[in-house]
């Protein structure tokens, strides 16, 4: 057991279900919504933005280095396409 002074330190492990991965912070869009949009729109970014509202406010989630989301919108689209074609 880890301790710090007189206090025990208990590590906290947080598991995300893949469907709960946050893709757009501004519009609170999660991966499952992107997966559903990809089923209809393929990898058409603009159609997926229109369908989900993801990426329509600050546009951070469209950038590779966005630290506001678990998975960027382009990465979520690529992941959904890979899952659907498997």
Contact set with ligand FES (CB under 6 A)? 24-26, 54-61, 68-69
12 vs 64 by CB, closer to ligand FES: 64
> CB of 11: closest distance to ligand FES in angstroms?
29
- Closest distance of CB 27 from ligand FES, Å: 6
Yes or no: say if 65 and 54 are a contact pair by the CB < 8 Å rule: no
Q: For the chain, what is the radius of gyration of the CA atoms?
A: 17
**In the complex, what is the shortest distance from the CB of residue 65 to ligand FES, in angstroms, rounded to a whole number?**
12
């Amino acid at each position: 057991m880890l301790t710090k002074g007189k206090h025990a330190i208990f590590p906290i492990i947080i598991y995300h279900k893949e469907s709960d991965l946050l893709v757009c912070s501004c519009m609170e869009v999660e991966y499952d919504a992107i997966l559903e949009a990809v089923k209809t729109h393929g990898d058409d970014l603009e159609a997926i933005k229109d369908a989900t509202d993801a990426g329509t406010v600050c546009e951070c989630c469209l950038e590779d280095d966005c630290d506001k989301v678990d998975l960027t919108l382009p990465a979520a689209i690529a992941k959904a396409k890979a899952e659907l074609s498997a």
